[in-house]
Amino acid sequence: MEPIVSVTGGKIRGRTDAGVSAFLGVPYAAAPVGPTRFQLPSRAPDWSGVRDALTYGATCAQSPYQAPIDALIGSDGIPGDEYLNVNVWSPDPGGSGLPVMVWIHGGAFVRGSNARTIYDGTSFARDGIVLVSINYRLGISGFAAIEGAPLNRGLHDQLFALAWVQENIEAFGGDPNNVTIFGESAGGISVAALVTSPRSRGLFHRAIMQSGNGSTLATAEDAAKLAKQLAAKLSIDPTADAFGKLGPSELQAAQDATTLELVSDPDPARWGESIISNGLGIMSLFPVLDGDVIEGPATNVLAAHPDRAVPLIAGSTRDEFRFFIVPTGIAAAITTDTLPHMLTRYGLSPDLADLYAANRPTQSPAEIFAAIVTDRAFGLDTLDLAHANAAAGRPTYTYEFAWPSGIEGLGACHVLEIPFVFDALPAAHSLTGPNPPQPLADEIHSAWVSFARGGDPGWPRFEPDTQLVQTFDAPESAVVSNPRGEELAALRAALG
């Protein structure tokens, strides 16, 4: 069966299989090519007749992951200009009033797409949700602070896609008044930015932040400094006109070379303090404080504007940072002697290692390092955002994903919870190992569905006095009060 629906732009043809209708690669904005690559998104041109929406659309130009990471999660790369597109899965395009979830992919704002198998929305549609996954501009195209171009173009794309959902989701049976956004990593950071942005009012009603934070932000001054480095690499002026004359491959080569230099020499004097501190010396292009889409760190904005808070789930995985150091071989170089230097490189006091090691007597120096940086990059900020959202009077729920991967050394690493959320374990054995627990996927996926339907994932709310956290694990999950509170307090004190 090939259902046909009408959306902004014209009619599209999808495909129905086992009761789920999928519409793939549907443009929500005009193709950002040439000079328009650095302009705000605009309406996609209309088309005549019925447009096929049967296969995934193009993805933003990007380099593949390094081989060890690629082996775990794969890379993205579907050529084409119309990469500002959405995928929609629906249990009933002819129905009405169905809850809607909008997925924002991760990839450190320089990689990723909505075309990954583990992001397939079939399981959500099977359970009565209209699932939308979106693409947005990445890297230089989406986040470089270029003279003559608006800042945060990638976030503007996300806002434009959410507006498209408001205009069109009823055609797929969805309720525009019941939209939950959710995203992981860069997608989770985007969720925090969108929740607190003055431009997002009315575009969604609940949010789930997975392995993100509200503080990965660059100042406009530092972002412009990095853009000048990119321009110098290309021997051009740092202007939208000059960048717009170059093709994606030229931009990508300069972006990769500049990021490599930053990682090799994370000097704040060269790159900007906010780029190095908030990007942890490994991220180069990410959201910028522009006073428009982003007014400040998410916790600060919620304190000043509690009316922007929404019902929220926020959480992370227990061993996030192992994903970045184990497969790449960095972990093997972290010893008792090198651990203090590594912590200092990330702006952390070496004294923290004593506390974390005392609580983990069987773990290696690399595992201690990963635990500390995991809390620095994800855990502490997630807790702060939960405090701010709860203080604003909105239902708030926190979680920690603790089940360890079957791949040696990864533990409960970054990305690992996604195939559980999407109930897509068979597509993720390269990351999970061969025997991931299906009951845990049933539990997590059902919690996300329940939250999207009515705002309650099925575990107690986070409150500042109790700080209850749902710990997802197998064979059994549990609710824990203030897990690792002593370590988080010491980390907060060390960060000043």
According to the model, what pLDDT value does residue 476 have?
97
| Amino acid (one-letter) located at 142 | G
Q: Kindly state whether residue 134 falls inside one of the protein's structural domains.
A: yes
Residues 298 and 351 in one domain: no
According to the model, what pLDDT value does residue 281 have?
81
409 within 8 A of 318, measured Cβ to Cβ: no
357 within 8 A of 337, measured Cβ to Cβ: no
447 within 8 A of 453, measured Cβ to Cβ: no
167 within 8 A of 8, measured Cβ to Cβ: yes
Output the six-digit token pair for 249: 């491959």
How far apart are alpha carbons 153 and 159 in whole angstroms? 10
According to the model, what pLDDT value does residue 108 have?
97
Residues 258 and 342 in one domain: no
pTM over 0.75: yes
Q: What is the pLDDT of residues 137-192, one digit of tens each?
A: 999 999 999 999 999 999 999 999 999 999 999 999 999 999 999 999 999 999 99
Task: Count other C-beta atoms under 10 Å from residue 201's C-beta.
Answer: 9
Q: How far is CA 279 from CA 17, 215, 271, 471, in A?
A: 42, 9, 11, 27
Specify which residues 239 forms β-bridges with: 147
According to the model, what pLDDT value does residue 273 have?
93
Q: Kindly state whether residue 317 falls inside one of the protein's structural domains.
A: no
- Among 310, 341, 375, identify where a domain stops: 310
- Among 257, 276, 310, identify where a domain stops: 310
Residue 67, burial from CB neighbour count under 10 angstroms (0-12, 13-18, 19+)? exposed
What residue ranges of the chain have pLDDT lower than 70?
Answer: none
Q: Kindly state whether residue 326 falls inside one of the protein's structural domains.
A: no
Q: What is the pLDDT of residues 36-47, one digit of tens each?
A: 999 999 999 999
* Helix runs in 197-338, H state only: 220-234, 240-244, 248-264, 268-271, 273-278, 298-304, 322-325
| Structural domain boundaries enclosing 98 | 1-310
Residues 25 and 87 in one domain: yes
How far apart are alpha carbons 226 and 284 in whole angstroms? 8
Residues 355 and 273 in one domain: no
How far apart are alpha carbons 237 and 321 in whole angstroms? 37
Residues 375 and 443 in one domain: yes
Residues 263 and 352 in one domain: no
CATH assignment at residue 179 = 3.40.50.1820
Residues 134 and 253 in one domain: yes
According to the model, what pLDDT value does residue 475 have?
96
Q: How many distinct structural domains can be found in the chain?
A: 2
Residue 114: half-sphere exposure toward Cβ, Cα within 13 Å: 31
Residues 142 and 264 in one domain: yes
According to the model, what pLDDT value does residue 346 have?
85
Q: Kindly state whether residue 318 falls inside one of the protein's structural domains.
A: no
Instruction: Give, for 355, the enclosing helix (H) or strand (E).
Output: helix 352-358
Q: Kindly state whether residue 461 falls inside one of the protein's structural domains.
A: yes
Q: Kindly state whether residue 315 falls inside one of the protein's structural domains.
A: no
Residues 127 and 227 in one domain: yes
Which residues are part of the catalytic machinery? 185, 320, 414
According to the model, what pLDDT value does residue 345 have?
85
How far apart are alpha carbons 305 and 307 in whole angstroms? 5
According to the model, what pLDDT value does residue 229 have?
93
Q: Kindly state whether residue 23 falls inside one of the protein's structural domains.
A: yes
468 within 8 A of 357, measured Cβ to Cβ: no
- Which has the closest alpha carbon to 8: 105, 86, 120, 90? 86
Give the 3-state secondary structure of residue 370. helix
381 within 8 A of 215, measured Cβ to Cβ: yes
Residues 257 and 337 in one domain: no
Residues 14 and 89 in one domain: yes
According to the model, what pLDDT value does residue 1 have?
76
According to the model, what pLDDT value does residue 357 have?
96
φ and ψ at residue 210, rounded to 5 degrees: -105, 120
According to the model, what pLDDT value does residue 288 have?
98
Q: How far is CA 72 from CA 381, 431, 473, 477, in A?
A: 26, 5, 21, 25
85 within 8 A of 58, measured Cβ to Cβ: yes
Residues 341 and 221 in one domain: no
Output the six-digit token pair for 58: 């193009």
Q: How far is CA 434 from CA 182, 405, 426, 429, 445, in A?
A: 27, 9, 9, 5, 20
How far apart are alpha carbons 303 and 229 in whole angstroms? 35
φ and ψ at residue 155, rounded to 5 degrees: -70, -35
- Residue count of the chain, please give it: 496
How far apart are alpha carbons 363 and 384 in whole angstroms? 27
